[in-house]
Chain A
Amino acid sequence: MRESAIALLLLSGVSTALHGQAATPARLEGRVTPAVAEAVRAIADSVARTGLPVGPLYRKALEGGAKGVPADRIIAAVGTVASQLAQAAKALRSEPVAHDTDAIEAGGYAINAGLSAGQVADLARGNRPPQAVAASLRSAGTLAALGVPPAQAVALVHQWIAAGRSPDQVLLLPQQLQAAMARGASPAQAANGIAHGGQPGASGDHPEPPSHAQDRSHRP
């Protein structure tokens, strides 16, 4: 519901901007039509007022312009990015954790990849620095983008965090998944294999999954 309100606010901002003829943002000049530039600027202004990062909005507009996407679709896509950022920020702010614009952008990325706002909040739990939160969100988002069911992706990232993996190691978790998929496993099977320590070919760069470490601790 709150997202709908944000969307309405954004669209009203777009309308105001289109009639107000404000200055075109320099980075959009020549890359999109003046109408799109104005609409994006209006959305960005609204987003900035709520403390959210605006970089992803401009990048999405530039991407749409480069790809030759019609103006209305560029504006809609920018609005979607703004909505995803707002959802991510809300989810992150619901948790008593430190977060920054990178974590919010990572949350928006994870939502775009298929995670729910609840799953974003779930990944943000724990007393961890913003960099670690962002890495978790990006890793889970990429796992979902590769085809792992979001709930399974979140569980796997949690497992790695619990095992004391560094943010870089968590970021590289999808690489192991891709390696397992290259050997014929489905995304879910590959994720399950990693979770249970069954993935072959783990290199020294990627430490053993938690289940291995736990097994070893029980050995004499």
Chain B
Amino acid sequence: MTDGPGYHPMVQRLLDGELTLRDLPPELRAEGEAALRSILPGPESSAVGFSPWFEQRVMAAIRVRPRPQPRPRTVWGWLTEAREIRLRLRPKLLALGALAGVALLVLTLVSRPTTVAVAGAGAGADSVYVRFVLYAPKVSSVALAGSFNEWDPGRTPLAPAGETGVWTVTLPLPPGQHTYAFVIDGQRWLPDPAAPAVDDGFGHRNSVMTVTATGGHTS
């Protein structure tokens, strides 16, 4: 309970927050307003000041405190320094970039045998690892048959790359020229669309792969 200097009990209750000015009878409202003004800071309240002596001590203490020196700039410091990065995403540019990426991937992979490495373990001393890639969606199996595997599709199946429709196999081939074809679902023979083809003597075409010490080439 707030103790006022001889206020009326109802004014006391006003100061205690139990009543509002409206709750007071008209004859007590002036006393209530005066009581409130005496305890609440108003615009006329004077600013709190400090003595000049106190101010001087504080400022002296601040001047005496050593100023932090900037550390020499190092590469590590530059690398680990926090920076503000602002990224502005532009949907059209992002879509174009994604399209370009997909197009590049397809151009790289579709039906394009490519050399991936030069002879390693398991290959003959002169053999070169050659990767064959075929884009054939919605088929159950793809195999490779050619002069290098006795035209036996069972020896060289291609593996699917997930659900992308891309099939690949990598195998060591000796330098020279090889004829081959892909076998789709064990029945359909398909020459490599990315390679030159020659007559197979049976009314169809075989693809031609040239392997040199520098790799496999579809011509």
Contact = CB atoms under 8 A, between A and B. Distances in A.
A162 B196 CA distance: 25
A57 to B, nearest CB: 11
Nearest to B210: A171
A142 B210 CA distance: 9
Contacts of B213: 168
Nearest to A69: B202
B200 A168 contact: no
Given A27-B150, A109-B177, A145-B196, A174 B219 contact: yes
A77 B212 contact: no
Contacts of B177: 106, 109, 138, 142, 171
Given A109-B177, A145-B198, A168-B212, A62 B151 contact: yes
B196 A146 contact: yes
The interface size bin for chain B is: 20 to 34
A102 B217 CA distance: 19
B201 A142 contact: no
The secondary-structure label for the interface of chain A is helix
Nearest to A76: B201
Interface in A62-120: 62-67, 69, 73-74, 76-77, 80-81, 102, 106, 109, 112-113
A14 B208 CA distance: 30
A142 B151 contact: no
A172 B210 contact: yes
B201 A60 contact: yes
Interface in B132-176: 145, 147, 150-153, 176
Interface string A46-69: 000000000000011011111101
Contact of A138 (B202, B206, B210): B210
Nearest to A187: B196
B210 A112 contact: no
Contact of A67 (B189, B208, B210): B189
B18 interface: no
Contacts of B219: 142, 146, 172, 174-175, 177-178
Contacts of B147: 59, 63
Given A172-B217, A178-B196, 15 more contacts: A31-B152, A62-B150, A63-B145, A63-B147, A63-B202, A63-B206, A66-B153, A77-B200, A80-B201, A112-B199, A113-B198, A142-B210, A146-B219, A171-B212, A175-B219
